[in-house]
Chains A and B, each alone.
Chain A
Amino acid sequence: MFLKDYIKDVYNAVKSLLVGMRRTGYYFTHHQEIITQQYPDNRSTLHLPERFKGEVVMPHDERNEHRCTGCTACELACPNGTIKVITKFDITPEGKKKKAVDKLVYHLELCTMCNLCVEACPSDAIKMAQTFEHSVYDRSQFTKILNNPGSKIMEGVE
């Protein structure tokens, strides 16, 4: 019946609106918890969420070894050319030539923190760091080389 549906519509609409207003009214009257970070004031105790994405880094272990094989999957995955992988050829003890990373160049100023490179990496060599205070005085400082000088690939990573 039309009239019944009509009244039901109005009733349900008013009820759902009141539920929403009750929620916000509860927040208004119970003003204790603050979900925003008071950033420069709480710089020392800042708590960032786990999935916060600040910049791409390559973790090294204590022997200055990383997990990057130089496969360029991250470079192919990047939608705006932020990563350039410069490869070289190492000579293995058996005398064979093996592809390895020479420099992994990362342009922070182009990066949108989309996380596609981290998803694409087959050997978990790069990850997203939580640092976010990136301001510098010179643009050239945004171009970073992610692998440490003199680092080499970890044993057993193919």
Chain B
Amino acid sequence: MWSLSKIANTIHEWLRTTFNSTLATILEMVLAGVAVISLFAILGLVLVIMERKVSAWMQIRLGPNRVGPKGMLQSLADTVKLLVKEGLTPNGADKFLFNLAPFIAMMVAMLLMAPIAFAKDFQLWDLNIGVLYISAVSSIMVISILMAGWSSNNKYSLMGAMRSGAQIVSYELSAGLSILSIVVLTGSLQVSEIIQSQSNGWWIFKGHIPAIISFVIFMIAVTAETNRAPFDLAEAESELTAGFHTEYSGMKFALFFLAEYVNVFIVCAIGATVFLGGWMPFHIGSWEGFNHLMDFIPSSIWFFGKTFFLIFLIMWFRWSFPRLRIDQLLNLEWKYLLPISMVNLLLMTAIAILGWYF
């Protein structure tokens, strides 16, 4: 049967037999890099058109419908436009940091691609502290935003960057704690083992109510972490024009824009891995026939289906809820989400010790 891991293995074997081992390793790295970059490009195009269509349908509009069939090439046309635009650097800006910031945003998104399992046995780097790596690397994102805001030498950018700093630092906590409550059940930080532990049912079903609570908290926290509405205070169009990327134009702006969508994909992929079983098909306990039937659907389709379901959920949030004020945002985190997720973690630990989960 066709699968991504088979293609990867075929390429691996061919490279090993054709070149010597050092060259083969280098070539494999290059191929992986190219694959990640092209995945980025495709994700950017797909997610932008998806966002615009979803928003249009939710607001009883038609959405883009001019370029290509049903407007499906609109994001491609936008990309071409952004590519040929001038990437202006303002005179008063700190030129080095200003030009570095979008690349750091992109680099963080690329680093986060490493431990994600896209299909069965198809993963760039299955390191034993995968979840820790993800939560550590995703915090670097805030540096690029602060850098962009500070070096722009513009009060709107600075305000947006400072808000974003406060926001990401606080919401990291509840996102981390809600993932931790699942790690308590699996007893491992390794991504492949977390997925393997869900072979007889996903954690959101096996972990009772605490798992559902931590899933909800995780979704809220990652929406805030990726700076999307209703937590888009870093951009806040009506107050700060465009927040930290007010001064950016052309391809540098496009990199920030792309990084936002890729980050949405990554956090949804992590959510799908931890709570919804990653590439693991939908299995119910010991129903052999049903489980076997579900195994016929390729694992990559399961993974991308779950991830896009979560992305749709986040888009649904964006086009339903009004934006919070900065004090409401911090109240929500420190007075509600953090205490709830702490109590939830305690509850989950009790469940894990007593063995009450399936």
* Cross-chain contact B340 with A27 (CB below 8 angstroms): no
Segment from B5-13, B53-61, B98-106 that makes contact with A: B53-61
Using Cβ atoms and an 8 Å threshold, which residues of chain A touch B340? 10
CB contacts (< 8 Å) of B319 on chain A: these are: 24
For the complex formed, measure the closest distance between the CB of A20 and the CB atoms of chain B, giving whole angstroms: 5
| Chain B residue contacts of A20, Cβ below 8 A | 320-321
A-B contact count (CB 8 A): 36
Smallest CB separation, B104 vs chain A (Å): 34
Contact with B along A26-46 (1 / 0, CB 8 A): 011001011110100000000
B336 within 8 A of A: yes
Given contacts A10-B340, A21-B316, contact A35 B57 (CB under 8 A): no
Residues of A within 8 A of B166 (CB): none
Q: Decide: B321 and A28 in contact? CB cutoff 8 A.
A: no
Known contacts A10-B336, A10-B340, A21-B316; A27 and B59 CB within 8 A of each other: yes
Residue B62 at the chain A interface, CB threshold 8 Å: yes
A21 CA / B58 CA spacing, docked (Å): 10
Q: Which residues of the other chain, B, contact A27 by a CB distance below 8 angstroms?
A: 57-60
A111 CB to nearest chain B CB (Å) = 26
Structural contact, A36 and B57, CB atoms closer than 8 A: no
Chain A residues 7-34 with CB under 8 Å of chain B are 9-10, 17, 20-21, 23-25, 27-28, 31, 33-34
Question: How far, in whole Å, are A157 and B174 apart by their CA atoms in the complex?
Answer: 73
- Residues of chain A within 8 A (CB-CB) of B316 are 21, 24-25, 28
Contact present for B336 and A34 (CB under 8 Å): no
Does A33 contact B336, Cβ atoms closer than 8 Å? no
A10-B344 Cα distance, complex, nearest whole Å:
15
Q: Is the CB of A34 within 8 A of B321?
A: no
CB-CB nearest in chain A for B337: A10
Q: How far is the CB of A69 from chain B (nearest CB, A)?
A: 44
**Contact of A35 with B62 in the complex, beta carbons under 8 Å:** no
Query: B58 touching A24 by the CB < 8 A rule?
Result: yes
A25 to B60, CA, bound (A): 11
**With A10-B336, A28-B54, A31-B57 in contact, do A17 and B321 touch (Cβ < 8 Å)?**
yes
- Tally of chain B residues near chain A (CB < 8 A): 14
B37 to chain A, nearest CB (A): 32
B61 contacts across to A, CB distance below 8 A: 34-36
Distance in angstroms from B129 CB to nearest chain A CB is: 33
- Chain A min CB distance to B59 (Å): 7
Least CB distance from B308 to A in Å reads 15
Residues of B near A36 (CB, < 8 A) are 60-62
Instruction: State how many angstroms separate the Cβ of A122 from the closest Cβ of chain B.
Output: 39
Complex alpha-carbon distance, A33 and B58, angstroms = 11
CB-CB nearest in chain B for A23:
B320
Instruction: Collect the chain A residues with CB atoms within 8 Å of residue B58's CB.
Output: 24-25, 27-28
Contact with A along B37-75 (1 / 0, CB 8 A): 000000000000000001001111110000000000000
Looking across the interface, which residue of chain A has its beta carbon closest to that of B317?
Answer: A21
Contacts known (A10-B336, A10-B340, A28-B54); A34 close to B60, Cβ less than 8 A: yes
Residues of A within 8 A of B57 (CB): 27-28, 31
Interface residues of B in 286-342 (CB under 8 A from A): 316-317, 319-321, 336, 340
How many Å from the CB of A47 to the closest CB on chain B?
Answer: 16
Q: In the complex, what residues of A have CB within 8 A of residue B321's CB? A: 17, 20
Q: Within the assembled complex, what's the spacing in Å between the Cα atoms of A147 and B267?
A: 65
Docked complex Cα distance between A38 and B61 (Å): 10
Question: Residues of B contacting A10 with CB < 8 Å?
Answer: 336, 340
B113 CB to closest chain A CB, in angstroms? 30
| Assembly CA distance A17 to B324 (angstroms) | 13
B57, B60, B62: residue with the most chain A Cβ atoms closer than 10 Å: B60
B320 lies within 8 A of A34 (CB): no
A residues near B (Cβ < 8 Å) are: 9-10, 17, 20-21, 23-25, 27-28, 31, 33-36, 38
Q: With contacts A10-B340, A21-B316, A38-B62 known, what are 17 further pairs, Cβ within 8 A?
A: A10-B336, A17-B320, A20-B320, A21-B320, A23-B320, A24-B58, A24-B316, A24-B319, A25-B58, A27-B60, A28-B54, A33-B60, A34-B60, A34-B62, A35-B61, A36-B61, A36-B62
What are 24 pairs between A and B in contact, CB < 8 Å?
A9-B336, A10-B340, A17-B320, A20-B320, A20-B321, A21-B316, A21-B317, A21-B320, A23-B320, A24-B58, A24-B316, A24-B320, A25-B316, A27-B57, A27-B58, A27-B59, A28-B54, A28-B316, A31-B57, A33-B60, A35-B60, A36-B61, A36-B62, A38-B62
